[in-house]
Chain A
Amino acid sequence: MLDQFISSLTDGLLLGFVYGVAAMGLTLIWGVMAVINLAHGPVIALGMFGTYLLFTHLGLNPYLALAPVAVFGLVMGLVIYGVAVHRVINAPHLSSLLATFAVNMILIGLGTAIFSTSPQNIDFPMGSLSIGFLTIPVTRLFATFGALVVTAGLYLFLYFTRPGKAIRAVANNRQAAELMGIPSSLVLALSFGLGTMVAAVAGGLISTFFPFTILSGGPYELKSFVICVLGGLGNPLGALLGGLILGGLEGLIPTFMPVSWVPVVEFGLFVLVLLIRPSGLLGAK
């Protein structure tokens, strides 16, 4: 029983790191510009397809493919921001919600037309690592490492670079930042781009161990909302913590009860955090 407990917790936590990165993109966009990005799911899915296409057509190692996928995610974010979000950034939340929902539907429609909804799979076996009773697929270890690199990179960018500091300044008080000469429109576009970049990279990491379709981003988008609330909206480190909690729960709950109880506990916790600590475990930023 203890073996099973530890195995399930390990699997859950490893997955939790990737959940955390997926949620980081969402929480960054919310934290900086108070926009709920409903196109988050398809962006994750496009990250999966980007990695897949580079792997299958160019023979690129899927982990190396994450670099061009990140650039693609950044550019896509800038485009989405310019086309659909910029004009409604100061409008009521419903406008930006509907604008990103429209982008979500367009991306899914285009993705379905181009890729169909047949599951795709990156066949890049890396074997498994056996430590006593624990068997861990190496792809998950690499994904965890990737998640940690992305988190550290984002943290260093936000706290130790001028554009990062500008993003934090705009997130804190946009008007004051503008008065200090920070071009807020550019910073907002960059933040959106960074958010989608992180989401696309998360998709790329997930694609190395789960088969996927263009619709596969949906469940991660939903989990990202829960994670953002758990960790604190707008807080990237909180997103990682939230991801680990969610992953851990998903690993452990089925050990004790039927798997259908997972969403009950997850969303129960979601409501509980909203009631007791609405700003999340690490507080909003």
Chain B
Amino acid sequence: MKRTLFFLGLIAIFGLLLGTVAQPTVAAAAEKTVLIGFTASQTGKLNVEAIRQINGLNLWIEQVNSTGGVKLPDGTVVKFAVKFYDDESKKERVQELYTKLISTDKADFLISPYSSGLADAAAVIAQQYNRIMITAGAASDSTYKKGFTLVYQAYTPASRYLTGAVDLLAKMDPKAKKVAIVHEKDKFSTDVVNALKAYAEKKGLQVPLFEGYDSGATDFAPFINKIPADVDAVMGGGHFADTSTFAKQLFEKGVKAKMVALLVAPPEPKFAELGEAAYGVIGASQWQPEAKYSQEGAKKAGIDWFGISVADFDKAYNAKFKEEPSYHSAGGYVAGLILEYAIKKAGSIDTAKVKTVLDDANLMTFYGVIKFANTPKDHGLQLGHEMVYTQWQKDQSGKLANQVVWPEEAATAKAILYFPRK
């Protein structure tokens, strides 16, 4: 009897062990973890914008995984994980690290680093190793005109970045004649201002000053001294560090332009640390928390709606990071969201199938419309998304507050003149 009991016990233990081992195997067959690789400028001159972008992406990962991931038609549940390295805001590190992400870490999909220059370097590797890459924070048009077929842009391209400021100037002062353009001499800013200059001239404006400064410049007095006294607007800038310095010195030197419209820095909440120098400065933003994109809007436009609402994104980001999301944060989130949409619609994580969905995508998200060019000459260029223009104004208590001032249909406040200052 004892012996029988002993054997029964043994069988039971064996059975239990077998069950324990077999269980995860069954689960593993049903769950697939997709690795998303990217580099992030955690240090170096781009880190303000890049960290917001990573925050946005991390929020997406957390949300998509906590809501059960993406379920494919074959029953597989796709969950997401990230692998990233600090590229120190240096182009030479980017290509090395993206190769490592694909070859060593086996990343299935890629997100670009922040900034056009770094994303351009990463795009070559993505294409070479047949990986889809969604670019965030990479507005320069030229990357998408190099024949890449797997690189997709989340941002409104540089060629349409500041042109709205010209329209706003015409609205604020129909008699405006002169625009001075001072810009960072990097890929993104150069693309933006070339398009801006062409647009301004097409609209009948003169550009008496069109000059670039080196990345990392701190003293803008030589440029500010060259701005003609009768100029109506000063436009340009580059990235956060240089543009905020430029704005500060424009104020200190008492520039008397009616409008100052700059790139990248003004929509960032940190820009308000400039104090009085931030007042009246207009920024071109890819997205603002006041944006009015909604499911109803998508329905009206006859396109798909996908993902979180604007209010929920704003609330979740505030709760997690204890700060207002900027467009860089939204850009990071939407890069992940685009991948989620494509995998869900393709019903697969196969590169070719996901690519087919992306090529035909036309959807609205909390971040705006997403639609990519699908011709060999500009494949992946963003066609659907539009910019909004913000301006630092003062609320009733005299505190600086960022308002959307253009386009009119999205405006939360009327634009004010930079000079004379009120």
Binding site for B on A (CB under 8 A): 4, 7-8, 11-12, 15, 112, 116-119, 121, 123, 125, 128, 130, 135, 137, 139, 209-211, 213, 215-216, 219, 250-251, 253-255, 258-260
The yes or no answer to B80 lying at the interface (CB within 8 A) is no
**B222 and A119 form a contact (CB under 8 A):** no
Q: Mark B257-278, 1 if CB is under 8 A from A, else 0.
A: 0000000000000100111110
Docked pose: A125 CA to B252 CA in angstroms = 9
Contacts of A12 in B (CB 8 A): 221-222
Docked pose: A117 CA to B241 CA in angstroms = 10
Of the listed stretches B44-52, B170-178, B197-205, name the one at the interface; the rest are far from the partner chain: B44-52
Contacts of B273 in A (CB 8 A): 121, 123
| CB within 8 Å for A112 and B275 given contacts A11-B221, A255-B225 | no
**A259 and B222 form a contact (CB under 8 A):** yes
The yes or no answer to B374 lying at the interface (CB within 8 A) is no
Q: Shortest CB–CB separation between residue B242 and chain A, in angstroms?
A: 9
Docked pose: A7 CA to B47 CA in angstroms = 34
**A119 and B240 form a contact (CB under 8 A):** yes
Chain A, residue nearest B245 (CB): A211
**A128 and B47 form a contact (CB under 8 A):** no
Among B252, B275, B276, max chain A CB count under 10 A is at: B252
Chain B, residue nearest A247 (CB): B219
Of the listed stretches B208-216, B294-302, B327-335, name the one at the interface; the rest are far from the partner chain: B208-216
Q: Would you mind naming 10 contact pairs between A and B with Cβ atoms under 8 Å apart?
A: A8-B222, A11-B219, A118-B270, A137-B252, A137-B253, A211-B241, A211-B244, A250-B222, A255-B226, A259-B211
| CB within 8 Å for A117 and B222 given contacts A219-B216, A259-B214 | no
Docked pose: A130 CA to B248 CA in angstroms = 17
Docked pose: A223 CA to B226 CA in angstroms = 24
**A7 and B225 form a contact (CB under 8 A):** yes
Contacts of B276 in A (CB 8 A): 125
Contacts of B51 in A (CB 8 A): 118
**A259 and B43 form a contact (CB under 8 A):** no
The 5 closest A-B pairs by CB, nearest first: A254-B222, A11-B221, A137-B252, A123-B275, A7-B225
Contacts of A135 in B (CB 8 A): 252-254
| CB within 8 Å for A250 and B240 given contacts A128-B254, A130-B254 | no
The yes or no answer to B419 lying at the interface (CB within 8 A) is no
**B245 and A118 form a contact (CB under 8 A):** no
Contacts of B214 in A (CB 8 A): 259-260
**A259 and B223 form a contact (CB under 8 A):** yes
Contacts of B47 in A (CB 8 A): 116-118
Beyond contacts A117-B44, A211-B218: 14 other A-B pairs, Cβ-Cβ < 8 A, are: A8-B225, A12-B222, A15-B219, A119-B240, A123-B273, A128-B253, A137-B249, A137-B252, A210-B219, A251-B222, A254-B226, A259-B213, A259-B217, A260-B185
Among A123, A137, A259, max chain B CB count under 10 A is at: A259
Contacts of A123 in B (CB 8 A): 273-275
Which residues in chain B, 15-46, are within 8 Å of chain A measured between CB atoms? 42-45
Docked pose: A118 CA to B213 CA in angstroms = 20
User: Could you say which of A116, A118, A128, A254 contacts B223, with CB atoms under 8 Å apart?
Assistant: A254
**B225 and A11 form a contact (CB under 8 A):** yes
Among B212, B221, B274, max chain A CB count under 10 A is at: B221
Chain A, residue nearest B185 (CB): A260
Contacts of B185 in A (CB 8 A): 260
User: Is the interface on chain B under 10, 10 to 19, 20 to 34, or 35 or more residues?
Assistant: 35 or more
**B218 and A216 form a contact (CB under 8 A):** yes
Contacts of A15 in B (CB 8 A): 219, 221
Docked pose: A113 CA to B214 CA in angstroms = 26
Chain B, residue nearest A135 (CB): B254
Chain B, residue nearest A139 (CB): B252
**A210 and B245 form a contact (CB under 8 A):** yes
Docked pose: A12 CA to B270 CA in angstroms = 29
Q: Shortest CB–CB separation between residue A16 and chain B, in angstroms?
A: 11
Docked pose: A251 CA to B248 CA in angstroms = 18
Q: Shortest CB–CB separation between residue B209 and chain A, in angstroms?
A: 11
Docked pose: A219 CA to B214 CA in angstroms = 12
User: Could you say which of B221, B225, B241, B254 contacts A119, with CB atoms under 8 Å apart?
Assistant: B241
Chain B, residue nearest A209 (CB): B252
**B226 and A4 form a contact (CB under 8 A):** yes
Contacts of B244 in A (CB 8 A): 119, 121, 211
Contacts of A4 in B (CB 8 A): 225-226
Q: Shortest CB–CB separation between residue B71 and chain A, in angstroms?
A: 39
**B48 and A118 form a contact (CB under 8 A):** yes
| CB within 8 Å for A8 and B221 given contacts A116-B43, A119-B241, A211-B244 | yes
Contacts of B213 in A (CB 8 A): 259
Docked pose: A103 CA to B244 CA in angstroms = 30
User: Could you say which of B221, B222, B241 contacts A213, with CB atoms under 8 Å apart?
Assistant: B241
Docked pose: A54 CA to B270 CA in angstroms = 20
**B219 and A250 form a contact (CB under 8 A):** yes
Docked pose: A135 CA to B185 CA in angstroms = 27
Docked pose: A112 CA to B241 CA in angstroms = 16
Docked pose: A251 CA to B223 CA in angstroms = 9
Contacts of B275 in A (CB 8 A): 123, 125
**A210 and B218 form a contact (CB under 8 A):** yes
Contacts of B48 in A (CB 8 A): 118-119
Chain A, residue nearest B276 (CB): A125
**B222 and A255 form a contact (CB under 8 A):** yes
Contacts of B274 in A (CB 8 A): 121, 123
User: Could you say which of A112, A211, A260 contacts B43, with CB atoms under 8 Å apart?
Assistant: A112
Q: Shortest CB–CB separation between residue B410 and chain A, in angstroms?
A: 29
Contacts of B226 in A (CB 8 A): 4, 254-255
**B45 and A117 form a contact (CB under 8 A):** yes
**B221 and A251 form a contact (CB under 8 A):** yes
Q: Shortest CB–CB separation between residue A110 and chain B, in angstroms?
A: 13
Docked pose: A164 CA to B355 CA in angstroms = 73
Docked pose: A11 CA to B47 CA in angstroms = 30
Contacts of A116 in B (CB 8 A): 42-43, 47
Chain A, residue nearest B88 (CB): A117
Docked pose: A8 CA to B222 CA in angstroms = 6
Q: Shortest CB–CB separation between residue A54 and chain B, in angstroms?
A: 17
Docked pose: A128 CA to B213 CA in angstroms = 24
